[in-house]
Amino acid sequence: MENGSEMHEDKEAVIVGTELPNTNGSTVLDDSHRHGFETVDEKELTIDLHDELKPVDYTGFSKQDFVGLLKEAAANNDFKKADELIREIKPLFDEIRHRERAEALARFKLDNGIEEDFEYKGDEWDSAFEIYLKSIRDNRQRHFREIEEQKNNNLQTKTNLLERLRQLADGEDTEHSLRLFKDIQKEWKAVGQVPQSQLKTLWANYNALVDRFYDQRSIYFELKELDRKRNLEVKQELCARAERLLSEERISEAVKELNELHNEFRYIGPVPLEDKDAIWLKFKAASDAIYAKRDAALVNLQHELQNNLQTKERINEEVAVFAAFQTDRIKEWNLKTKDIIALQKQWESVGGVPRAKIREVNKKFWNAFKAFFHNKNVFFKKLDEERTKNLQLKTEIVNRAVELKDSKEWEKASHELKELQVKWKEIGPVPEKQREKIFQQFKEACDFFFNQLRSLADKEAHEQNENLTKKETIISLLKKIADEKSGSLTEVRELQSQFMAIGFVPKRDVATLKSRFSETLSKAIEALPGLADDERDSAALEAQLSNMRQGPQAEKKIHHKEYILRKQIAKAENDIAILRNNLEFFGRSKNAEKFKEEFNAKITQAGTDLQHLKKQLQILQASV
């Protein structure tokens, strides 16, 4: 054929061309390497920049949260993401589980347990985590086993296609040969991955048989040129699609679709020789522009991640001081809690940091954060214990107040309730939920008693005011007797009895009223007409004794009065004895008569006084 040299060149290009991995893991052969085209790394093409910009912070997750993540991953069958997730969360989950085990062991030892006997089974979330972890691993193994089985099936399918192609190439040319040839090509392209070890051999055999088919057909050149023009049209469309990807704002989506375009480009056959370089350069230019956009996004991403790292390190410095915070004031704990929550919000608003720094920077923040709330919980736990104890003490006070509220021993109960009120104030606060209820119970018991007491006091005050008026009236009557020097001893004694029979008067008036009554009574007795001196004295003494009996410490005062009288009687008897002794002594002097008269007068007066005192003593003894 006239184009045999060109055909030989194309055949060589196909067989020794560069191997490029496609998205399905198989390998295709292309001559793009001859034009300096940069091969595409599938890992780079599938970078999800969105995930890079905002990596997930798992350090604050609970075991339940981690189980939820594994459950979702097990349902999705995205094993690449599942493996990345497991690498991220399993160390954190194990850290929580180890801490819980250590705490359980510590409690076991506190209960006098021996460490060798300790067995930690974990909770439901530990079991669920292991179940979903095993499910993901089992599904991955089954998935890749199925892939390998499918690859072997695909290998057999392509081997059968090669045999059909060989028979077609070596057979006679018919009007159906080209259609059968195109059908085999379509089937070949539709078959999926094959084992990597067989890939190069399969493609070499396939391309050799394709060339043999054309070599043995008289219309090879025309068909080949027609096929290359058709391939050129398809590749031009791929170039246009690649160029349109430049307007895609989501760079990760653009790179992902570009990867698919490269995969299609590989499967398309050769183009006319004069267009080969141009079409590759055009496709490469569009690809390079997308890669440049991706690289710029990565640079910006790294810059943003570094800025985020600096911001989080600054927040870590601020939150570090909270780890050692201690106070005995609830208000200060609440203020600090607001501050640290504000820092947490700042922390969460900051984007991702470089992957190598995620664990370190997160650990610093959450360790300080958890230390603060641990200390706060310890404080409030102790506070709750104290408040529970206070509740017990106040409950005892309430129970006693309820017992006293109906008491009629007013003075005793009032004194005890006042003491309970003092104790209540000395006891600290109780739990918030019971604070109002228990206070109302105590207040109601106290109010009930003191309202009863106040009502009684009001009644007594009214009665005392009435008594004061009555006693004032009696004093007025006695004053009238004294002023007019009229009346009788019987009348005075009746008024005295009435005065004594009247009940209490206001406390503020007691002393003044008593003094006025005693003074007025004495004046009334003194002013009574027709009374002998001894009758007057006896009446005055009886009135005095009567007043004593009505007053406080009456018995003591009467005994004291008796003591004074006996002392006065003893003194009077002694004075009389001395006077009589002196009378005998002075009787032998020159002026004896004068001294006898004087001493006899003194003895007579002393005797009269003695008799008066003895009569007072008799009256006092008779009244006891």
Q: What is the pLDDT of residues 532-564, one digit of tens each?
A: 666 666 666 666 666 655 555 556 666 666 677
Confidence of residue 17 (pLDDT cuts 50, 70, 90): very low
pLDDT number for residue 12:
28
Greatest C-alpha distance within the chain:
204
Higher-pLDDT residue of 618 and 316 is 316
pLDDT number for residue 29:
32
Mean of all residue pLDDT scores within the chain: 78
Q: How far apart are CA 185 and CA 206, in angstroms?
A: 9
Q: Give the mean model confidence (pLDDT) for residues 46-75.
A: 70
Q: How far apart are CA 323 and CA 317, in angstroms?
A: 11
Nearest to 128 by CA among 66, 84, 79, 83: 66
Greatest mean pLDDT among 6-20, 57-71, 297-311? 297-311
> Percent helix, strand, coil in the chain (nearest 5)?
80, 0, 15
- Name the residue ranges covered by the structural domains of the chain: 1-53+242-353, 56-218, 552-624
Q: What tokens were used for 279?
A: 């079409």
pLDDT number for residue 321:
92
Write out pLDDT tens, residues 564-577.
767 777 877 777 77
Share of the chain above pLDDT 70, in %: 79
Q: Which long-range contacts (C-beta less than 8 Å, at least 24 apart) are formed by 494-503?
A: 495/524, 496/521, 496/543, 496/546, 498/474, 499/471, 499/474, 499/475, 500/546, 500/547, 500/550, 502/467, 502/470, 502/471, 502/474, 503/463, 503/464, 503/467
Q: Give the mean model confidence (pLDDT) for residues 340-351.
A: 89
* Residue 133 pLDDT greater than 60, yes or no: yes
Q: What tokens were used for 550?
A: 């009505």
Q: What tokens were used for 148?
A: 């390998």
DSSP lists the bridge partners of residue 18 as 30
pLDDT number for residue 287:
92
pLDDT number for residue 38:
35
* Residue 53 pLDDT greater than 60, yes or no: no
Confidence of residue 424 (pLDDT cuts 50, 70, 90): very high
Ranking 17-21, 270-274, 337-341 by mean pLDDT, the lowest is 17-21
Q: Alpha helices, DSSP H only, in 25-78?
A: 42-45, 49-53, 63-76
pLDDT number for residue 592:
62
pLDDT number for residue 399:
94
Greatest mean pLDDT among 100-104, 326-330, 392-396, 556-560? 392-396
Confidence of residue 196 (pLDDT cuts 50, 70, 90): confident
Q: Give the mean model confidence (pLDDT) for residues 584-606.
A: 67
Write out pLDDT tens, residues 504-526.
888 888 888 888 878 887 887 77
Q: How far apart are CA 577 and CA 603, in angstroms?
A: 9
pLDDT number for residue 237:
92
Q: How far apart are CA 59 and CA 471, in angstroms?
A: 90
Ranking 222-226, 370-374, 385-389 by mean pLDDT, the lowest is 222-226
How far is C-alpha 141 from the geometric centre of its chain's CA atoms?
A: 45
* Residue 355 pLDDT greater than 50, yes or no: yes
Confidence of residue 440 (pLDDT cuts 50, 70, 90): very high
Q: Which single residue is written with the structure tokens 């001493």?
A: 599
